[in-house]
Chains A and B, each alone.
Chain A
Amino acid sequence: MTRRLNRLAAIVGVGASKFGTFEDKLGRELFADAFLEMMNSIDRGINIKDIEAFYLGSAAPLSFEGQAHLAPIIADQVGLANRPATRVEGACASGGLALREGIIAIASGLYDIVLVGGVEKMTNLPTSEVTDVLAAFSDTPYESRVGITFPGAYALMATAYRHKYGLTDEQLMAVTIKNHQNGALNPKAQFNCSISDIMISRLAKIKEKGQPVPDWSSEMDFLKDLQANPVIAWPLKLFDCSPITDGAACVLLVAEHLAKSFTETPVYVIGSGQASDYSLHGRKDLTTLDGAKEAAHQAYDMAGVRPEDIRMAEVHDCFTIAEIIATEDLGFFRQGEGGRAAEQGLTARHGTKPVNPSGGLKAKGHPVGASGVAQVVEVWQQMRGEAGARQINRDVHLALTHNVGAHGATCVVHIYERR
């Protein structure tokens, strides 16, 4: 059965903090940066008093910064105390879930103007403790307990994928190289640099220290060197993994009839889908996320569009294998062909199906609860032609976001149209 929203939500403003490592900032302060940028992005402005409700995606603020009950604290930080403020949690899909709750709240008729945000302040903890927090997004007594980390869970999928479809290291590396090329053009990105930039800076340091100079003649050479790119969870190496990041993002949603009073070019959310899935050992096929396929099906069906209609997508590339699987689950490429598509450049910024022009989670950074909202920030900029140096060179009137919690136990897909 095709499900419809009683009325659509339109995005009329977006904002994001810089992504990276910010020792001296709390999550709420990063959120305030994103909020101020969002307020300034609304073409015809808004009175803050008109914002009626707030949905916040944040995955584990209690573990990461010792702060539970984050939504009212953030609401207060940006001047929205007294409004309903609700935190939504779905691991790394928390941001996407918050967006969906905002859309549903508007569709229900309860509110006309809703703030949706996401935030995570991850870098207070040492890597070993971050590893434990992220591992707990999987099934703790049956998966994390035997030693499966978060990269480990995606590595299990990558190994299964290699076995079934013959995935090569070069195909994974093509995703890394492409996303870093895009990140190099994104001033908000944690890695605002290409793999080549990283390689050159490493070479300079090595020469400075008088150490033996490695024989790297290309980005692939660099990525194939296990000294430069060590194994994290085989077959995944350091540069297959998104980084640990602090960051925040937010968007303002309004009921469709109000959209044009805020801007001449709103972006409407025309499709929304969400699904959950079993733990990895409960799945028949480890080379695809059934939850993502189901969420995508719901979103396409609601929007009345097909995968081939989508002009660009921000997908959940927490690991390179995740992007390859995502492009198949979303119907952009047939199963088993996502790796080749990446290698052929089809997902590059000026390819036939641009994926992660923002740099993706890989280069832009992955503040887990914020990522699902930050994807929307990129979509908005690309659809309005405001993406600067990384602007896709053809009109983007239809776009998609794909946000995944843990190893696919939560999946959210949204489709956007500029009207």
Chain B
Amino acid sequence: MTEAEFTCASFYSALHEKRLMGTRCKKCQAAYLPPRQICLKCQSTEMEWVLMKGEGKLVTFSTIAVGTSSMVVEGYDRYRHYCCGIVELDEGLRVSARIVGVDSQNPESIEIGTPMTIEFPEAEGKSSILTFRARQAC
């Protein structure tokens, strides 16, 4: 089977199919997320896609009151905040993501280090936004 091109489009079509994919250099095994065409360590272009487990922990976050226009369309505003953060995956790579399953109105309750699992939203259109859910009950 030929590999999908190492592009942003391939990354998001995989996400759409409920797979979080990074790229790995076949020569030196360095892994990347978001995907890269060129290995930063050895400059090789011999990449392969690698499936991430989709589990990790919260490195940092913010609850946002004044959002981008796409978030405003989703109904978020200064009375209804959303959470964004950076998640470090078990594989050691970090991604920027939407964070759900936390109390965005009460940021002091959200803890760095919280275990996170990727969530693939069912709603059409939202599936291409990388989202992680806090694992403990909230």
Contact = CB atoms under 8 A, between A and B. Distances in A.
Interface of A: 127-129, 131-132, 135, 139, 141-149, 151-152, 155-160, 163, 230-236, 279-282, 286
A147 B97 CA distance: 8
A144 B12 CA distance: 15
Nearest to B128: A145
Contacts of A145: 128-130
A152 B64 CA distance: 7
A135 B96 contact: no
Given A230-B65, A232-B66, A281-B86, A147 B71 contact: yes
A149 B72 CA distance: 12
Contacts of B70: 147
Interface in B53-78: 59-72, 78
Contact of B84 (A141, A146, A160): A146
A189 B12 CA distance: 45
Contact of B98 (A129, A146, A149, A234): A146
B84 to A, nearest CB: 5
B85 interface: yes
A255 B94 CA distance: 47
A99 to B, nearest CB: 30
Interface residues of B, number: 34
A247 B130 CA distance: 37
Contacts of A131: 66-69
Contacts of A141: 8, 12, 34
Contact of B63 (A132, A143, A234): A234
8 contacts: A132-B69, A147-B71, A156-B60, A231-B65, A232-B64, A232-B66, A234-B81, A281-B94
A128 B72 contact: yes
Contacts of A148: 62, 64, 68, 84, 96
Given A128-B72, A142-B96, A156-B86, 17 more contacts: A139-B96, A141-B34, A144-B68, A145-B128, A146-B96, A147-B82, A147-B84, A147-B98, A149-B67, A149-B68, A152-B64, A155-B64, A156-B85, A157-B60, A232-B65, A233-B64, A235-B62
A256 B70 CA distance: 51
A353 to B, nearest CB: 28
B4 interface: no
A62 B41 CA distance: 37
Contacts of A155: 62, 64
B68 A286 contact: no
A141 B84 CA distance: 14
Given A152-B62, A156-B61, A281 B96 contact: yes
B107 interface: yes
A282 B130 CA distance: 16
A128 B67 CA distance: 8
Contact of B112 (A151, A159, A234): A159
B95 interface: yes
A151 B66 CA distance: 9
Contacts of B95: 142, 281
A280 B96 contact: yes
Nearest to B131: A146
Contact of B61 (A149, A159, A236, A279): A159
